Structure 1
Amino acid sequence: MSVKSVSVFTGSKHGKDPLISAHVIQLGELLGQQAQLVRYGGGQYGYLKDLMNGVSNTDAKMEAIISSAYYKEDEQYPEFVSVIKTVTDIERNKQFSLSDAFIVTAGGDGTIAEATHMQYQNVSATYSNTPQKPIIFVNTNDYFNGLRTQYSKAIEDGYSDKERQANLHFVNSPTDAVKLLYPKSF
């Protein structure tokens, strides 16, 4: 599969672990060197800004997919970022789902909701015989261990199976995440 565009789900504010910020910046740089387009939730704060700063050092383009609830008319974006304003979350999720793959870094409720929505689409894909898309969690300092355990428990207890979770990946670094999508580049 050729990966031209990647959606990144990340936090709109910084957490307590400074390594996560460094990983998000590195992820932006690495994706910017490989992908033609990086989609993200817009905004110029928290890890969202870190991602944008990482991509800014490359030739890649970005799309900021912003819900009208969070859109600020006076917010200016660099030239390499196109802003797509959506009215509903359904419309916003559709924009993200256009990507060939998804990478998830530490974040809160919104970040996890976005990632699980894409996993729901992968489950639907198994029933319609369409390809699943990779969803890669960058598990910096074990941030996603609880989620990984929950997905394993769902298989163990018979609520899910390996086919449904075939494209869920948990890695420890941005480099590992990008290697999964672009193995020939490393």
Structure 2
Amino acid sequence: MKKLKTICVFCGSGTGSNPVYGEAAGFLGDLLSRQSLNLVYGGSNIGLMGIVSAAVRDGGGKVTGVIPERIAENVPGQDGITMEVVPGMHERKAMMYKLSDAFISLPGGIGTLEETFEAWTWNQLGYHAKPLALLNINGYFDSLLDFLDNMSSEGFLKGSQRDALIVDTDPENLMAKISAWKPPEGVKWESLKPSS
């Protein structure tokens, strides 16, 4: 895997009901800046998005927010953060994926899950070979991980793809796993190619 330069963080525009989520987002942002990594994120200045982006920026890291026009109208610009305004959500995700070397998902809502699963799907289909990780703060993703295990045991998710999803409860351990990650063998649909 190439050297990591830019990490995309998917996370909520809210802070959740437990202060531990905001604390972990701030710690992750600080860790990224200490590791001289740039941040790409959804562009909001509130919730976990605002916390992680401020921590990277305040630590001297480069921060790029990618935000759709419709949302940008309601989000003020932020000092020290480059904002890329795009037409809509599809373009937002495509740009976030293009600008990033790896993806980390923090707690969030359906938008966070949608971004996470699309990045994972693109990996599964061979559109990119970039690590995807869940920072499982306070057991937030436990039920989702159980569901994914069931999906795999029921034959709808290959074990190699399930294993490709990096999970940890500690930001430093998570970053070490991302750095050591290797893409799974094979791409979905490869076996269906006509033989030449």
Moved over 6 A (4+): none
The 5 A counterparts of 1:27-176 are 27-72=28-73, 75-79=76-80, 81-98=81-98, 99-125=100-126, 132-176=129-173
- Cα deviation, 1:60-102, whole Å, max 9, x if unaligned, reads 10110001121037712112x1100010211111111121100
- Tell me the distance in 2 between the aligned counterparts of 1:162 and 1:17: 33
Q: CA, structure 1 residues 131+74, in 2 after alignment: closer, same or farther (shift >3 Å)? A: closer
Q: CA deviation at 1:53?
A: 2.0
CA-based RMSD? 1.7
1:12 match: secondary structure: coil
- Structure 1 residue runs of 5 or longer lacking an equivalent are none
- Cα deviation, 1:149-177, whole Å, max 9, x if unaligned, reads 11111110011112223420111022222
- Tell me the distance in 2 between the aligned counterparts of 1:93 and 1:74: 18
Q: Which residue type is aligned with residue 29 of structure 2?
A: G
- Tell me the distance in 2 between the aligned counterparts of 1:74 and 1:92: 15
Q: CA deviation at 1:107?
A: 0.5
- Tell me the distance in 2 between the aligned counterparts of 1:110 and 1:151: 18
2:160 match: secondary structure: coil
Q: Is the 8 A contact 2:166 2:178 kept in 1?
A: no
Q: CA, structure 1 residues 72+132, in 2 after alignment: closer, same or farther (shift >3 Å)? A: same
In the alignment, which residue of structure 1 is the partner of 2:176?
Answer: 179
Q: Bigger radius of gyration, 1 or 2?
A: 2
Q: Is the 8 A contact 1:132 1:167 kept in 2?
A: no
TM-score by length of 1: 0.89
Q: Which residue type is aligned with residue 113 of structure 1?
A: E
Q: Is the 8 A contact 1:5 1:35 kept in 2?
A: no
- Cα deviation, 1:110-142, whole Å, max 9, x if unaligned, reads 1111100101101101xxxx7632111111111
